[in-house]
Structure 1
């Protein structure tokens, strides 16, 4: 049996979730042939997939990293947003053709798309069985209104975006309707999700909330060893992380500065407080700040941390909820429109979720968490990760979908063709 994984090439979270599912599929189905069509952060994730026994196909060629540049302008109309950003990044005709060619060569029993819209479209067009893994209940634009976009500093052509929303919703609904199964790690919130494609699929039974689709949570390591490996002493630790995709580079730079200033202020009460800054690239910081561009396995660090400050990227949300790490989610600006819905959802679930907070507010929210890590999960953490990781459940559902699709294909094929398709 052959399964092809196709994570979206925007942000590291899609790659990380696909990697977690690949590792669990390998455990549940030792003989399965796994291939990943990798479109971003290839130098980091290529070796990780290889170590997991997954064949890697680099479908991008050049290194892709959406965290180190601006991706939008302040004008939101058909030309700048749909043609200039969404079509190249998500609904991409050239990529659809590329994925079609890979499916024809690989002949997968199941394609697992992690919010990779072009890969899902190629599967649907070709009749290839596919599953959708998604933290989005619909296209992002469908769940954010013009007024919010304008509050984020955008100049909105409302008619163009109306047309865009309708079209994108139709594409997403088509993908959801044709999927063997839809898996989501985002808990349903009626005020945000009513009317979306995934909400309807949940009601109809074709979508499942699995909880976090994350790597195995490691046994707690010797804290002194973890700290020494990162050059940290025995004092309290604050981790600051920026998002894997940024709409405007200046927002990323501003939130990094705010993390550093918050650390400096908190050190007045906690002189031994240490900041680990995960900046996605080299950034200038005071000597008492540990700067890392990226940490592929940050779980041991988080297990040592008093608090994490993070953009509301959903794979991060699921990991920290399962790990029960105290986290303050910081949306740098409403201009980072792709995370506005997640930010609002987190607030409704009970997480500290701030939008462009002044440093004084950050200090007030973060300060009480230093040295006071809770021993029991919060209601908000339980809403996202009711049973801890849900990776085994998700992989099991994908395995069933692949086996069912394969059996259906063999039943429908002529006898000679079915015999020739045995792998």
Structure 2
């Protein structure tokens, strides 16, 4: 194995083990900042040591033992000044746990998995949504501050401050490092799922920038959701979210053409869609639905499954999709869901039938500056032959677009529409 290949393997192993090591160290130190610092130091040590000596039989145990030792060193240095009784007790506990004969066994079955506690800590509703996303990617995903900053188009300094504020709030408000009691679990789980879904969505349809998608974010969201499904098995909405992500992600190769331009759903080459991943997503969805507790993520996954399994855009069961959006609205009464339902109706019943329902959304505050509303309206007007109205809607959608690939697609569609609306321009060419 070459040096470059060795480094890549080591980095992959480290990233895979990061969240579990950090969660265990947090459970010992009860201090997220200290745990993150010593875990990072352990990772740096691993990148050097493993490159020279090879990856150990138990990377998790090696990283964990190294992080414990570094935590012990830090606490020893700190207690010389403050001499807090709690630190003595913590130091004793860490030293007892750091027995090398126990830590470096080849198998990891004896090492507890504390990641679920860390998930609920990072996604606590008391934290701002942006902080929950950043903290989850940093602590459980192992992404660097710079990587997270790039993903959300902010400076590294801004993202670092956001992470510091989040960790300080956890400490200042005593956000517990624990799995919620049964009466709070459902509510808190929704916060966790929301964070994972937001990470995936930002990767799948990047709101700003040059790229249509960020595969590193979608991959990370899927990995984190798979981890959650492993930690909380047979939880229908976790399974629904995982199925939804897999089904969306399976279509990624068809979303852009050979030069990277955006391709709309109705024009995508479905042979490029990942069939095995679609089958996996549908299987997980069916397992979730058999548990008899439907929820919004399962319904969205069912909608995505209909798209994924249709042979062509025209063969899609748009009436069924429309009915599923009605069911989804019962769980999440949002004008965005109404809009999606209207788009489905425009294909099931024709664009003219959808225009009346579309006009009812005109003055809803949430949609006034919502780019997909104008893009959808433009497409429905175009298909209904109302070209003047379509032009106005396209121009508004273009003005609101932050993603360059999406903007380029809309500009091209608008140019084509103007030619179609005014045949004299064809002659001018």
TM-score (norm 2): 0.25
TM-score (norm 1): 0.25
Q: Which has the higher contact order (CA 8 A, sep 6+)?
A: 1
Q: Which has the larger radius of gyration?
A: 2
More helix by share: 2
